[in-house]
Structure formats: C-alpha cells, structure tokens
Chain A
Amino acid sequence: MKFNEILSIRGNFLIKATPFLIFISSIVVFNGMVDDWGRLSGSIDNLFVFIRESLWPPDWSVIEPQAYPICTAYPLIDFTCSTAWIGLLETLKIAFVSTVFGMILSLPISLLAARNLNPWWLSYSSRFILAAFRSLPSIIWAIFFVILVGFGPLSGVLAMTVYTIGYLGKLQYEAIEGMNKTPLYAAEAMGLSRFETAFQVVIPESANDLISQAIFMFEYNFRHGTVIGIVGAGGIGYYINLYLKFLQYDKVIAYLIIIFIVVLLIDMISIFARSFFTEEGDMPKPSWFHVILPASMIKK
C-alpha cells in the first residue's frame, strides 16, 4: 500500500471520527467544571416542591383590570387594563420600533461590511462596529441606557435598537456576501457606482433574505424584550421583576405562560410571513392549518 493511500485512509477516518471526538471532549470539559455530581440527585424533588408550593396554580389576577387607574374599557375587553396586557403591548411596541430602527441603521453598515462590495479596510472597519454593538447582550445595553436616560421604554428601545444593529447587520452582510456574483459583474461592467449597485442590484437581489431576517429579528426582539424589563427598561419584564421581588411566583408563572403563548403565536406568524420571501416563492403558500398542525395530522 502506498504512503499516500495510507494518508488518505487516515484522513477519512479522522473526518468521520471528528464529531465523536468533539462530543467526548465536551463531556470531559463539562466534567472538569463540575465538582459534585451528587447535587443533581435532589434537583427533581426540588423542582416538584417548587411547582407545588410556589408556582402552581398560576394567579390569573394578572389579566384582571388594575385597581388604579380605573378601567374605562367595556367589560368584555377590560383585560386591556391589566398589567399583563399593558406590559405585553409595551414589549411588542419596543420590539417593533427597535426592529424597524435597527434595520434602517444596520443596512447601510452591512452594505459597507460586505467583502464582495468593498475593499477589505472598509469592510473590516464596518464589521468592527457591528461586532462592538453585538458583543454586549441586550440586557447589558438596557442597563447602560437605563443609567443614561432613566427607566422606561425609551431605554428599552435604545438598547434593543443597538443590539439589533449588531445582530441584524451580521445576518445582512452574510446574506449580501452569499448573493449570486454575476449581477455584480454585470453592474461593474456597466460602470454603475457602488451606490447604484447597492440600490439597484444588491438590495433587490437579497431582498427576500433581508425581509425574512427582519421578521426573525422582530420575533427575537420580542423574546429578549421580556427580559430587559427586569432592569427597568420597560415592557412585561418590569412586572415579572416586581412579583419576583415579592416572591409571588404564582403571578410570575402566569406572565410566563402568557409570554410563551405570545411567542408561539409570533413564531407561527413569522413562519407564515417568511414563507412569502423564500426562493420557493412559486410554491403554494402554507395555510394556517398547515402552520399550526403537524403534517401527519393534516394527512388524516
């Protein structure tokens, strides 16, 4: 057997063994971090005690109108005066505004960050800005803006917008870099400027990806918007934090169930909306029925 053949066989073996080796190494690293595995033994019992004594049943008074200010809504929709509704709506507003602002601000930076459109120095300096925005999680940005502008949704919007610029910008420049190169060649041969190429070729060509990412970002911002309220940046998180401090876990679990249902709904709307902006645009659009139910149930 020749030396090259032996090398090739070893190479193939290494490629196949790599996932297994990565898994084993993760176990070894984990084991190194944990000093006492025995602590796991009582965890299930602790969970059941916590659920039975503190979490369950949820206290649904959170969807009842607040005592003050006095609710003027019709009795049928008086839940709109509840802390759950007010907090949820504020979180949705923060997510919506910060996604729109974040997208508007991130798109020009991501156009500059794309390596297929710009010289390396411009591309890497733009990536540096995006990475700086992304390096801190949204909750840290929220603390920062609460210090700067005080409590409330303003600091929430600013925090989520900055994080959106960093996160969405990365997704956008990766989509732009992945676009088909031939339209760029045609534009370059025609003598189009970078500005014209960006607006006439790059954005239309990658529009589906950009829209799909913006919808995903809205969904992401809503989920994270529930957290930033904990540090006083507005939204439903404010109420969760309030009841956590008073150890009223039954109210906290009610909020968490509401957030879970809304996240699920937004996720379904997001899947449905994004299906309009995929390459398979000519495929039949999924019905609501298809989005909600698994394929096996639809067949039946």
Chain B
Amino acid sequence: MTGDSKEIEVYRNPIVRLLDVEIGYKKTEPLVKIPNLEIFPGEIVAIAGPSGVGKTTLLRTIAGLVRPISGSVEVCGAVSPSKPSKGILGYVPQRLGLIRHTSVMHNVMIGANAGHNKSLWSILPSSLAKKYASEAINSMGLSDKLREPIRRLSGGQQRRVATARTLAQRPSLIMADEFLSELDEDTMDMVLTAVTQYVRQSGAALLVVEHDVSRAKSMADRLLVIDDGRVNPFITEATAMEVKI
C-alpha cells in the first residue's frame, strides 16, 4: 500500500501529548500515572506490560473513549474532552469491533468512509473511499473474501479485516490493541509490513498495545513498559521505564 502524505493531515507537533495524566475508571483508584508522553509523526510506539495493568485503558483514553481522571490528553491538536475531527483517529480494538453479519467490504468501507467523507450525514460511499477500501483489503491478502460475512472468517482473518478497516481510513494516528495476535508468522509479517509502510510514508503514528515484549521491541521505535509492581501500584517515573531501542 502506498502512502500519500498530501491525502492525510500531517502534524509537525506531537500527534499525541500526555501531561501529568492519571487514567482509570475510578477517581480514587487510578490505574496508570503518566508524567509525560509524546508520540511524533512517523513513529511507532509499543506499550507492553503485564495483563490488567491498564494498557488497553491507556489506549482507550487516548482514543477519547474514557476520560482521563486528571491531566491533559492532546490528540492531533484536540485536548480532551474535545475529540479530533472525523477520520483522524483509527482504532483496532482488542475485540475488533467488526459487524459480524455483514461482509468484509462493508466493514472496511466504514473505515474508508470515515476517512474520506467528511460529511456527518454520509451513508453512501464515495469512489475514493471504495478505492482505499479495495487497496487496504488487498494489502491484508483478503481480496478473495470481499463478500464473505465476518462470522465465517477465522480469528486471524477477522483481525486482518479490522486492520484493513483502519488502513482504508488512512488516519493520522493508528491505535491497535494486540492486532497481531492469532496470526501465523507469514501473515504477521505481511500485516506488519503494510502497517509500518503506511506509517513511515504517510507520517502517521502507530501506538500499539502488545503483551509480547520481544515482538513489541521488534516492531516499535520506542517501547513503553507499564509495570505496576508490588510496592507501588501506580506508574511513576521510577516504575515506568521508557526504553529507547
């Protein structure tokens, strides 16, 4: 898939900027504290850490689905609680969020429409959206499954559809939650290559949650490890180590 920097909004400033942020679902029990985190255009950042530590919550906070308990979350120029405009942000949830009864094409077109049709009343696909949807499906090796309902696909294929939906959107920030799990080595390489190529060429950023630290290291420019530890349940500068690779 070829990226075209003219077609997406490129931010020279950090795409994501978190300052003194506490995240979680209860005000009295923040899951993670992040003193400072900036993610720049063209950068791939992986978040790793033990299960239940708050990796997905962090991603959902940046996606605007969960409000931060305190601090400032800025994504593509929009400071929480305001959100970036339509199509700027692409999200591959851990449970994918696909519509099970409809086809691969319908699911990918949702992303393509979000990215290439700025009207908030758009339900008819544009030709540009169709083009990007087809490109994204091809890049995920699913061109023979266009009309296949999602429920008939394997777990790995469904994960590729969710990734294609985000690629077709051509967002400025891709947030992916364990998007490589359930994939065999070859497919994983194919998906990673397509996503990485898009990020590098378009100047978008990729923020990925990955429980496998070695895989996270191999794909990311930067690895953010969230470690709650036994003594201090919250992330502080001492317990959260940001490792440059």
Chain A residues with CB under 8 Å of chain B are 180, 182-193, 195-196, 199-201, 204-205, 207-208, 279, 281-282
Contact = CB atoms under 8 A, between A and B. Distances in A.
Nearest to A206: B101
Given A185-B63, A201-B99, 4 more contacts: A186-B162, A189-B91, A190-B89, A191-B89
A167 B100 CA distance: 27
B8 interface: no
A191 B86 contact: yes
21 contacts: A180-B100, A183-B97, A185-B65, A185-B97, A186-B162, A186-B165, A188-B63, A188-B65, A189-B90, A190-B86, A190-B90, A190-B91, A190-B169, A195-B120, A196-B120, A201-B99, A204-B102, A205-B100, A205-B101, A207-B101, A281-B149
Given A190-B114, A200-B113, A195 B121 contact: yes
A204 B101 contact: yes
Given A186-B93, A190-B91, A201 B110 contact: yes
Contacts of B60: 185
Contact of B114 (A192, A208, A281): A192
Contacts of B100: 180, 205
Q: Which of B83, B93, B110 has the most CB of A within 10 A?
A: B110
Contact of B110 (A188, A200, A207, A281): A200
B105 interface: no
A182 B96 contact: yes
A189 B89 contact: yes
Given A183-B99, A282-B151, A191 B121 contact: no
Nearest to A189: B91
Interface string B71-112: 000000000000111111111110111111110001000110
Nearest to B103: A204
Interface SS, A side: helix
A182 B95 contact: yes
Contact of A282 (B93, B102, B111, B152): B152
Interface string B167-197: 0010100010000000000000000000000
A160 to B, nearest CB: 29
B231 interface: no
A276 to B, nearest CB: 11
B113 A193 contact: no
B123 interface: yes
B91 A185 contact: yes
B51 interface: no
A282 to B, nearest CB: 7
Contact of A189 (B63, B85, B96, B151): B63
B64 to A, nearest CB: 7
Q: Which of B85, B91, B151, B169 has the most CB of A within 10 A?
A: B91
Q: Which of A185, A195, A281 has the most CB of B within 10 A?
A: A185
B123 A191 contact: no
B28 interface: no
Contacts of B127: none
B43 to A, nearest CB: 19
A281 B100 CA distance: 11
B214 interface: no
A281 B102 CA distance: 12
Contact of A281 (B101, B120, B121, B165): B101
Nearest to B149: A281
B2 interface: no
A189 B99 contact: no
B154 interface: no
A184 B93 CA distance: 11
Contact of B97 (A182, A195, A199): A182
Nearest to B63: A189
Nearest to B98: A183
A191 B97 contact: no
A189 B63 CA distance: 5
- Enumerate the 4 nearest inter-chain pairs by beta-carbon distance, A residue then B residue, closest first: A186-B97, A189-B91, A191-B86, A193-B120
Interface in B185-232: none
A204 B149 CA distance: 12
B87 A186 contact: no
Contact of A188 (B64, B85, B120): B64
B121 A196 contact: yes
Contacts of B93: 182, 185-186
Nearest to A205: B99
Nearest to B120: A193
A116 B113 CA distance: 23
Contacts of A195: 120-121, 123
Contacts of A187: 97, 110, 114
Contacts of A281: 101, 149, 151
